[in-house]
Structure 1
């Protein structure tokens, strides 16, 4: 019975995530439309509400083009792997109550995040395209660089709660009577650095260098169309929502208050779209300068500082 309830929880969660991705695309097109002084999708039913369904059907029935000399099996299955990894990210999120708690959830998240590098390497390599390989080189170097700082920042936070369980961020902040506020205000600069790392990790503006249309056409996924493109597309947008959940759970502790957590995820989605609407793309060398000469040294300093406090038992 317990396994059945847990399975139903996961199925409902994954269904809700898939539906959220569909309407996330509509929200993005609407917001970008109003930023650019146009209406966006507004013809398909009331206010264009069924536009995601139309886009999905269009992509589903689109013709599939296969490049010459491609690695067919990797070309076919690597987008599915990327979607699968993005789905199992959500296993660390307890849906209906705390009937499933992953005690090493953040370690599990680190492993899945690192594995995504190999998936995108396979996606670009299998299509046998020079543009795809150039986009892959940019994307992987960017992803690995910001993953280092992301993991160190999260490790800094773990010194406070003495656990790899995501739920303990909520429990800790409730126990010290600073619910909603403690980590956000006392680690505000780490919040900003983690937000920047997430944007670079998700390949979103202003750090979307692997998809520089003026240089690389569409980056690592240039040769993919139809269902393969849907899988890559879903993977990217599911990762955005997951990173928003992780960010606000760590710094606000909202796991036991799902309505407020979902509201914060929606706010994060709006923020990501808003950044795409008004910020230009950085230069690539500026991106690497930001991580290796600014964020990473600050993160390492904070890591050594928190480790020293922990070593001398100054955290209770």
Structure 2
């Protein structure tokens, strides 16, 4: 009975995430429209509020294009696996009312995040297109570079709570928030999340001006929806994660939703006014600046842990 209740809650969570993705896309189109001095979607129902549902239905009913020299099985199955892994991210979400929490949630998140690299590699390789391969090379090198530093920063935060459980960030931040004395880590992790989510100004694998949408150029209809949804689900999850780790807002669900909405707005706003980086500057930023500093802080915190352990 108890397992059935948890399963029903996960199904409700999955449905609400899908609806949030749909209206997140509508929010992005409206905000970018006003940034660019235009209206955005405003015809479908009141103020275009159901435009996301119409676009989703249109994409599902569109014809699927099959390239001549693709790997058919990998081409069809890889977007579905990518969406499934994006759903797995939300399994570490602590259900306080149901007394459900994943003890090694952050380790599970590291595994899912690392596995996403292989999914996008398969998506690009199965298309057998020059543009998708170029987008894949950019995406994989970018994700691997920023993922290493992202994990090091999260491990530094885990040293503060001595736990892999996401719920413990709330327990250790009842009196004081990590944001106030770990502000620079917050900024570094925010930059890494933008690069990890392939958002502006780090959207190199989807460079429309030179790669024509990059790694997903050959995908259409429901396959494109799966890729699209997995990316936007990751954005919402990263927003929940960063504000839980630095503000401990998991128990206050309403305030967490407000902060996640602010994170989503900030991601859209950055896309509206920041130009795309040069790729060599992106690699310089991580390997010459952020990664050495993160590694130094990791060694320093690890040394403090050893000192406290033996004294």
Q: Shorter chain as normaliser: what TM range?
A: over 0.9
Distance between the aligned counterparts of 1:263 and 1:314, measured in 2?
39
Q: Is the 8 A contact 1:142 1:201 kept in 2?
A: yes
Q: Is the 8 A contact 2:94 2:166 kept in 1?
A: no
| Alignment partner, residue 125 of structure 1 | 125
Distance between the aligned counterparts of 2:130 and 2:62, measured in 1?
24
Shift of 1:12: 1.0
Shift of 1:94: 2.4
Shift of 1:95: 3.9
Q: Where does structure 2 lack aligned partners over 5 or more consecutive residues? A: none
Number of residue pairs matched by the alignment: 311
Runs of 4+ in 1 over 4 A off after TM superposition: none
Shift of 1:99: 2.2
Distance between the aligned counterparts of 1:315 and 1:50, measured in 2?
61
- For residue 89 of structure 1, give the secondary structure of its aligned residue in structure 2: helix
Distance between the aligned counterparts of 2:310 and 2:3, measured in 1?
38
Q: Is the 8 A contact 1:41 1:47 kept in 2?
A: yes
Q: Is the 8 A contact 1:92 1:166 kept in 2?
A: yes
Q: Is the 8 A contact 1:9 1:95 kept in 2?
A: no
Q: Where does structure 1 lack aligned partners over 5 or more consecutive residues? A: none
The correspondence for 2:306, drawn from 299, 305, 311, is 311
Q: Give the alignment's TM-score, normalised by structure 2.
A: 0.98
| Alignment partner, residue 284 of structure 1 | 279
- Spell out, residue by residue over 1:143-183, the C-alpha distance to the aligned partner (whole angstroms, 9 max, x if none): 00000010000000000000000000000111xx22xxx21
| Alignment partner, residue 217 of structure 2 | 222
The correspondence for 1:202, drawn from 197, 204, 207, is 197
| Pairing 1:232-247 to 2, within 5 Å after superposition | 232-247=227-242
RMSD (Å), alpha carbons:
1.3
| Pairing 1:76-91 to 2, within 5 Å after superposition | 76-91=76-91
Q: Give the alignment's TM-score, normalised by structure 1.
A: 0.97
Per mean C-alpha deviation after superposition, the further-off stretch among 22-31 and 89-98 is 89-98
Is residue 39 from structure 1 mapped to residue 39 from structure 2 by the alignment? Answer: yes
